[in-house]
Amino acid sequence: MPEPLVSILIPAYNHARFIEATLASIASQDYPRLEVLVLDDGSHDGTAAAAEAFLAARAGRFERARVWSQPNAGITRTLNRLLDTALGDVAMPIASDDLLLPGAVRHRMAALAAAPAALALFTDCVVVDDAGRRLHESGIRDLYGGSLEALATNRALAATLFRRWCVPGGVLSLRREAFAGPGAVGRLDEALVVEDFDQYMRLALTGRLRFDPAPTSAYRLHDGQTIWTIEDVMPTQIQHVLDKVAPGARGIAGVLMRQNVEGLEIGGLPRAHPRRLWLAARRRAAWAVHRWQVGRPPVGPLPDLNSQRHGRGADA
């Protein structure tokens, strides 16, 4: 049986100076069956032309390769269009300024094969600057303050990610079931400007998201990321996600999400009000169960994406 086809999805926006390095990191993978799709989201710096030239010079390396352009639509619409175009059994989105580390695709596919019930898998990454110099060995731990140990238990992932959102871009792999066909929970909410918190929470709440701590990509930090300009929308984005997923969320994550939403409604109540005390007791009980499940308490406060910067493809 041939190995599964893997679709590398690249939402590109004004990254002409980075796109060749991104594509080179994909071309150097030791996995044989790759599809590379580059959707240029209205760039004005020659990103699409640079990608086309790189792929044309390597005809035959990929099972399928395509570059095309659209008027600027934003990251969520761009990624959904890439998902609609992908033919692979597994999709791996990566920003047009990030890199895949050597052996990344094969490692992720082996990790997915070892977890046949998983809809999706995410890994750690290293962090580099605009010149490719390494800044951090772990994007999750060193850049965003997450706990690799808590995530690696693969228990209560939704609650752990909700408590401390800490996942950089370019580390997610999605089985086709997650992004195509009925009930595809891995597709993106196009009402959001920053997509990944919502996508990960919906995947985690299914109980079929897995974490592998090996770094498989290089997440690039640089001044050109337009995410710096949209931090003021982040609280609204988070509230949109909670309003949508909290009512149906189960387990520890459901308790914490609903309490976060309900907490907004009781802000003016006295500290000894029964409703406030009930919510506090329920929260303490949920975290006691969480500590028992993951073996240690989570790190950091409730998610504050207004202070956490993430670069993402067509909007990065």
Contact 283, 67 (CB under 8 A): no
pLDDT of residue 239: 82
Q: Residue 308 — very low, low, confident or very high, per pLDDT cuts 50/70/90? A: very low
Q: pLDDT tens digits, residue range 8-31?
A: 999 999 999 999 999 999 999 999
C-beta atoms surrounding 223 within 10 Å: 7
What mean pLDDT comes out for the span 28-49? Answer: 97
Rounded Cα gap, residues 71 and 99, in angstroms: 25
Q: Say whether pLDDT at 232 is over 70.
A: no
DSSP for 267-296 reads TTS-TT-HHHHHHHHHHHHHHHHHHHHHSS
CA angle 155, 157, 161 (to 5 degrees): 150
**Strands 134-136 and 209-220, bridge-based pairing:** unpaired
Contact 38, 10 (CB under 8 A): yes
Residue 42 φ/ψ region, left for φ over 0, alpha for ψ in the -120 to 50 degree band, beta for the rest = left
Q: pLDDT tens digits, residue range 241-293?
A: 888 888 888 888 888 888 777 665 566 667 777 777 777 787 778 778 877 77
Burial class (CB within 10 angstroms; exposed 0-12, middle 13-18, buried 19+) of 4: middle
Name beta bridge partners: 217: 100, 125
Please state, for a pLDDT cut of 70, what percent of the chain lies above it: 86
Q: Residue 39 — very low, low, confident or very high, per pLDDT cuts 50/70/90? A: very high
Q: Say whether pLDDT at 298 is over 90.
A: no
DSSP 8-state symbol, 66: E
Query: How is residue 46 written in tokens?
Result: 């020659």
Rounded Cα gap, residues 48 and 156, in angstroms: 41
pLDDT of residue 248: 86
pTM of the complete model: 0.86
Rounded Cα gap, residues 66 and 75, in angstroms: 18
Which one, of 118, 85, 109, lies nearest residue 185 by Cα?
118
Name beta bridge partners: 227: none
What is the overall mean pLDDT for the chain?
Answer: 87
Angle between helices 234-245 and 196-205 (to 10 degrees): 20
Which one, of 290, 300, 252, lies nearest residue 153 by Cα?
290
Q: Say whether pLDDT at 87 is over 80.
A: yes
